[in-house]
Amino acid sequence: MKRVLLSLIITLFGMFVYAQEHVEPTEKWKVAEVWGNNYHGWAFHQDHEVDFTVENQDGRFTLTDEEVADAEYLIQKKIAYVNRDHYNQGGMCPIIDEHMRKYRRQYVGFTNDRGDHIVWANFLWDDKLTDEKLASDILFTKGGCGHFWHIKCNLTTRKVYGLEVNGGEGEVQYLPRVKKAGPRISRPKDRGKKQKIRKTGIIHSPEEKVFN
């Protein structure tokens, strides 16, 4: 009986220690690597800051694997028609819909004011790019023609649109992030000095010309 009681106490103590030490992670992932039929890429969390928006944007959402697969299905199905003009393609520049397997992807999810789920997809064909670089942040480039492009896909309306293909001028340049300007604060250089009336061409009353 004593052995059974001792064993029970040890078990309960072990469970107590585990409960104290085991802490569920609370930090959300910022990017998830995704694979599927003819695609490989990274889906960025809704909290990952980006420097661009979509039309009538109302918010962001985090893409699931199923939503990425759905977006890829729509893009691969409709890209040949959307890209029928072959803008910035041909010659030394690849026709993008003929080389879909070559591109690695980056995905960002947006919502608009109607509640539609919109996927912004970035396509990059550069063997020098590491997976770590692609998973770290959204990459924008200049030059490279059909090696670099992005497109939008509305999962709600099933529309694929907004294709933008890089120009071919010069070597490929990876563009730095655009820093958002902070609030503009204007203060007089000499706070003790009285402000002067600006000559705006507007006739002010004497009361309006008094600055405290």
| Digit-coded pLDDT (tens) for 54-79 | 999 999 999 999 999 999 999 999 99
Which pLDDT belongs to residue 11?
54
* Mean pLDDT (whole number) for 110-137: 97
Return the higher-pLDDT residue of 178 and 41.
Answer: 41
Between CA 111 and CA 130 the distance in angstroms is 30
Question: Is 154 part of any domain?
Answer: yes
Report the number of distinct structural domains present in the chain. Answer: 1
Question: Is 165 part of any domain?
Answer: yes
Residue 32 in this model has a pLDDT that exceeds 80: yes
Question: Is 141 part of any domain?
Answer: yes
* Mean pLDDT (whole number) for 153-159: 98
In terms of average pLDDT, the best of 28-32, 117-121, 196-200 is: 117-121
Beta strands in the chain (DSSP E): 31-36, 39-44, 57-61, 104-112, 117-124, 140-142, 148-154, 159-165, 173-175
Question: Is 15 part of any domain?
Answer: no
- For the ranges 32-36, 128-132, 160-164, 187-191, the lowest mean pLDDT is seen at 187-191
Enter the pTM of the model: 0.72
Question: Is 3 part of any domain?
Answer: no
SS3 label, residue 70 = helix
Query: What tokens does 128 get?
Result: 């020098």
**Confidence bin at 169 (pLDDT 50/70/90):** confident
Which pLDDT belongs to residue 177?
80
Q: What range does the domain containing 169 cover?
A: 31-49+57-126+134-173
Question: Is 9 part of any domain?
Answer: no
Question: Is 142 part of any domain?
Answer: yes
Return the higher-pLDDT residue of 101 and 2.
Answer: 101
Question: Is 10 part of any domain?
Answer: no
